[in-house]
Amino acid sequence: MIGYSPEKSDDYVAVARQAPEGYISNDIIFFSEFFFFYFRVYVISVGFEPLAHADRIHHILLYGCTEPAHSKAFWRGGETCGFGPTHILYAWARNAPSLTLPRNVGFSVGHENDGIKYFVMQVHYAQPFAGDVKDFSGVTLHMSHKRPQNLAMVLLFVSGESIPPGRNQVQINTTCEYNGEIELHPFAFRTHTHAMGRVVSAYYKHEGQWTKIGVRNPQWPQLFESITTNPVIRKGDLMASTCRFDSHDKTTKTAMGSMGVNEMCNFYMMFYYDATKENPFPRGAICYGNTERADEMRREYPKEGTQLLPSRPDLEHHAHQSSSHGLQIPFGIVEEGAFTSIGGVKLGQVAGLTFQENNLVIFHRAGRVWNQNTFDHYNVLMDKNPIKDDVILIVSITGNETRILKKLGRNKFYLPHGIFMDKEGFLYTTDVGAHTVAKWRISGDDLEQVWESGVKLLPDSDRTHFCKPAGVVKTDEGVFVADGYCNSRVVQLDAETGKRMYEFGLPGNGPAQFNLPHDVVTTSTGGHLLVADRENGRVQELSNRGDFIMEWTSRLFSNIYSSDVSDESVYMVPGRADRESGPIYVYIGRAGTGLIEYAFAPTSRPFGQPHVLRVSPDGERIFVGDIDAGRSTLWMFRRQHEGGSSSLHSSYAFTGAFRSASTAATGPTGILISLAFAVLVVGFVVIRRRRAASTRVHANFDKKVRMHAACFEV
């Protein structure tokens, strides 16, 4: 099973990946993406794209190495590079956003003269997760084949000096004299400390004049902030950095180190130099400190580089860090209940879920079970009598206690499936037995039908029938139905009348094609649809007219029964376990990426046959309806986290736009690399999905690079 779960506090792991020849750059038009689970093509303009969150991860460091520390692809511990130089390429912490490199600037990797034959990604987990959670965090590298006019590097200022206790202000300094012949052009910087850090800055001194490189509060998102002042560092210049710490509440010295009880004093200076020149730091760009000019720095260093910055509560909230560094609640998805009955009502197969404000609405099948005897060969229901029991339960939940508020739907449904409640309180249902879609008004303890679409008990594929319609959702544009088990289409109905307005979809596994569209929901903004394309094992994001946007898929699963979205997270659950992947997990993807971020499973017993998944309106609870034979279950989970923004696509911006280094230089093709983890088996696996260009990409590609599987036991 791919995915990593930290086993202890301050757990360090690393993943190694051979570096292809290329340049990490945003100067590309088209690129091929390599993730561990699939292949895809995109248009994009960014250099480093993190897939991580401070709830789960303390920091990520990406190194370029001649050789990795170990020959295997995954290892535990703090080792990164082996023999040869160590190059820092990228660092992430505290919910920093993606890093877009300037035009005409890129990192050279995979070439004979750059010393970077491997990528090694080190991840620091502050503490173990709560519940059964597996992490898939990583960094996506966008690469071009064409050499840019300027090559980038990162110079790290780092100190090993301990912090004395009982002081409101302690300055830890680092100085180095630059003796290279090649001019350095800093264009971005990043700071990093643990909880005691208050300000980190760096300056350089040229011909008696001190010039700021950057200054930042390390408790803010630890992004690479752009430098807009065009500084130039030349031979003989003194480079200096200082970290301000607050140790007033400490009674012993705090050592520098990698653990949560330690501190760090790091300033990362990202710079470029003329690509026609020699590498100014062939053995790696690190400033450990130079005592020869330390006194000069102490006497002259600008005071503004040590002064506290104005408070930014928005940034401090966004950057909240997980425990072992001052917080106590570990991230996790905690199982709160596995209900086979509620309020004395034994649950039948839980087919659909929706919400009435904060109350849960359950759509179950009571005593009727869908099995091989339910339909004939023509998809006609064998038992043409409606279910006599109430199949809709409106349930209030307090803690892990449930209470039935209302029971509805007796003698109205044949084989319940999908359900949705809109803001006005109307219910929309699909009945796979009746082959109909209906809108209902709640009237006391009964349902009044507003309209019904389809011909009851008669399946077909024309414009007046449905055939086993599955999912349903209502948007401002109308009612959308995943139709479903027989018809590979999504049908749009008028919400007021139930009349058909539009339909899209064809059988197949290409964009906007389906192999049993089983569930449909809307994105957080309501502008797009997410369709659980069940037997294609994916979730497709589509416009309301059926235009393909992107998909979430993985070799971790071969089927997806249901999906939902909350904020920037896309939840998806398979309904059947695969022989290769083991027990069923709920997978959480990142909106806008098509990538899987983490996964969770129950701890009391495995899922049986999950059928529907919904996330509560506040995003804190996840409900899964399980139709396992003889053990129909409503699962309830709670997201456990420190709070703060769960969105990594928020509108947080750099403090200045990156400037262009010089004339644009773009290549016709590119590469994208992603790094992720494995817990039992680590495999660098690429599966090329059959898919045509989406509506966002109209292009033919002259080169596609494939990689071979290489699995390693851990």
365 among annotated binding-site residues: yes
327 among annotated binding-site residues: no
The span from the CA of 524 to the CA of 509, in Å, is: 25
611 among annotated binding-site residues: yes
Contact 595, 674 (CB under 8 A): yes
Closest CA to 215 of 240, 194, 195: 240
Contact 498, 474 (CB under 8 A): no
The span from the CA of 234 to the CA of 271, in Å, is: 13
353 among annotated binding-site residues: yes
Closest CA to 51 of 149, 139, 180: 139
The span from the CA of 472 to the CA of 426, in Å, is: 13
Two tokens, residue 50: 């993190």
The separation between the first and the last C-alpha atoms of the chain, rounded to the nearest angstrom, is 11
192 among annotated binding-site residues: yes
Q: Is 399 left (phi over 0), alpha (psi -120 to 50) or beta?
A: left
Q: Exposed, middle or buried by CB within 10 Å (0-12, 13-18, 19+), for 556?
A: buried
Report the relative pairing of strands 138-144 and 48-51 from DSSP bridges. Answer: antiparallel
Identify the three-state secondary structure at position 293.
Answer: helix
Sequence letter at residue 69: A
185 among annotated binding-site residues: no
545 among annotated binding-site residues: no
124 among annotated binding-site residues: yes
| Total Cβ atoms within 10 A of residue 206 | 17
53 among annotated binding-site residues: no
Using CA atoms, how far residue 604 sits from 350, 562, 567, 584, 635, in Å, is 19, 22, 28, 13, 11
Contact 64, 129 (CB under 8 A): no
269 among annotated binding-site residues: no
Contact 662, 149 (CB under 8 A): yes
Sequence letter at residue 675: L
Contact 414, 387 (CB under 8 A): yes
Q: What is the DSSP letter of 51?
A: E
Two tokens, residue 75: 């290892």
Using CA atoms in the order 109, 112, 115, 117, what is the torsion angle rounded to 10 degrees?
60
264 among annotated binding-site residues: yes
Contact 114, 108 (CB under 8 A): yes
Closest CA to 27 of 503, 658, 693: 658
Contact 523, 565 (CB under 8 A): yes
The span from the CA of 628 to the CA of 609, in Å, is: 5
Identify the three-state secondary structure at position 487.
Answer: coil
Contact 675, 701 (CB under 8 A): no
Q: Within its chain, how far is the Cα of 86 from the centroid?
A: 28
Identify the three-state secondary structure at position 295.
Answer: helix
Contact 256, 132 (CB under 8 A): no
At which residue do the structure tokens 């561990």 appear?
36
The span from the CA of 480 to the CA of 663, in Å, is: 48
Strand partners, 342: 345
Sequence letter at residue 656: G
Q: Cis peptide before 484, with omega less than 30 degrees from 0?
A: yes
Output the known binding site for Cu(2+).
Answer: 58-59, 124, 192, 194, 264
Output the known binding site.
Answer: 58-59, 124, 192, 194, 264, 353, 365, 417, 485, 518, 534, 611
Output the known binding site for a protein.
Answer: 365, 485, 534
Output the known binding site for Ca(2+).
Answer: 353
Output the known binding site for Zn(2+).
Answer: 417, 518, 611
